[in-house]
Structure 1
């Protein structure tokens, strides 16, 4: 979006040159075309398009902590209210999930990037609010790494553990049940209403990931090194948030089911959030 140019154009290049680079880059992001195809269409070399994508991606990445803020730019009570309106689940400040972004086989540590579906990928952790705004992204882990490990080792998990946030994340069974990360009951009996509310609220993250991939077709498969793939993913997240904040229409109806998402096995982490989950279930869903 042109607004992103004004935010991202603080570079040593002229504004007009940056705008030209920006158009090449967003064409690549939106269409996922081969770089030489974009070059042919714009009558420039593949090297020029590659340089444009890299320069704009780096410029956008500098805006990460401006546009991707947890739990969000609004007061926490409004974030909780937005999530509560979905299915009556109290105290939620974000929904978390992982998604695999396919990449070409890297030349270094190739086996680390092969996920359980046997293709090379970056496993990206994403958290969103009820408005489909992404409030956290971790785009640096090879596809073989489990969702629960990514969360366990991220800075946000440490902050939750130190009590810096008042509220809960909702995750699927691929995450451990923690006092601040609530997952469904594995074998619900009387907890069916809790599980339904958890699932309906958590569908927002599936929708958000669908919107992100619909807007940026390049995420269907990135033909770059893992390091550059991670930077492109972050840049797309930033542009997604700018588009969402501005109320821009998503180019196609997002599919809530992610074909690249694995059905997770229960994690081996310590599950010490059962008491919190039981209390919420008893107080709100019985």
Structure 2
């Protein structure tokens, strides 16, 4: 079960019970596809990334049936996003920051942020905007994870040509942080050099000219790798995110979001972890550099003087 669907039988039952009212077909026909079969078809698609026709031939359903099942289950999962992808508050923030501090001594971290790309087939509309800096068509995905690798925020709605800093700056997450994170005690995110250095998002130094900055850099790198591992687990668990998804961009965005929700459900149910992975397998854009310092540079200097000098 886990190898084919990424969930045990108990996990599949949990998902079926969660989505049953959303995907149950309102028909009196004797051979209407059951909610369980719809969930299994969708999970097989997410887990393998195979074409609908191949999944249908393997499982004994038509291509159109598989397509409808994947659409129904995807939409149903996305409707439950706020139950499983939740931004931490109060005591949750304290627990998360405490566990992050245990990794490498970086204080007040409430999440790690990064972007990744999901390859898609060339769309018929606005094709050029989906070509990313590496030359292939993709959806740009921004996410934040906690210390356990669970996603606390996801934004999978931008074409691949968009820079991570633009995705972040225009996101609801940025607006929330600008409103809620007014002081050091409210917590910070860790991001790579592709993000602006802001009071609520700490990025690496472009050059380290002191021992304190070197210690900051090392602690930042060891802590931020959590998001790279989370993306690795997500893509290992759901191979559809590894291959070229042959769907319209709007549907791909929903498939990515559904996979993130399933990833968090797997954590919640303590489902078996997927195989180990190498960070080098990931689409990590550490080469990018953004010179948008704003007022975060002073906070970063404070971090160095207060905790790493």
Distance 1:268 1:275, change over 3 A: closer
Match of 1:192 among 214, 230, 241: 214
Report the count of equivalent residues: 286
Residue 99 of structure 1 aligns with which residue? 116
Distance 1:238 1:46 in 2: 25
Distance 1:28 1:153 in 2: 31
Query: 1:222: how far off?
Result: 1.1
Distance 1:10 1:281 in 2: 52
**Structure 1 residues not aligned, in runs of 5+:** none
Cα pair 1:9 1:59 within 8 Å, conserved: no
SS of equivalent to 1:94 = strand
After superposition, where does 1:20-169 map in structure 2 within 5 Å? 20-71=37-88, 75-164=92-181, 166-169=186-189
Match of 2:192 among 172, 175, 190: 172
Distance 1:158 1:95 in 2: 17
Distance 1:109 1:73, change over 3 A: farther
Query: 1:256: how far off?
Result: 2.0
TM-score by length of 1: 0.95
Distance 2:179 2:256 in 1: 29
Rg larger in 1 or in 2?
2
SS of equivalent to 2:16 = helix
Query: 1:247: how far off?
Result: 2.0
**Structure 2 residues not aligned, in runs of 5+:** 1-10, 26-31
Cα pair 2:130 2:137 within 8 Å, conserved: yes
Distance 2:234 2:90 in 1: 20
SS of equivalent to 2:53 = helix
After superposition, where does 1:126-275 map in structure 2 within 5 Å? 126-164=143-181, 166-190=186-210, 191-220=213-242, 221-275=244-298
Deviations 1:178-203 (A, max 9, x none): 00000011101221000000000000
TM-score by length of 2: 0.89
Distance 1:186 1:120, change over 3 A: same
Distance 1:269 1:9 in 2: 47
Please report the RMSD computed on the Cα atoms of aligned residues, expressed in angstroms.
1.7
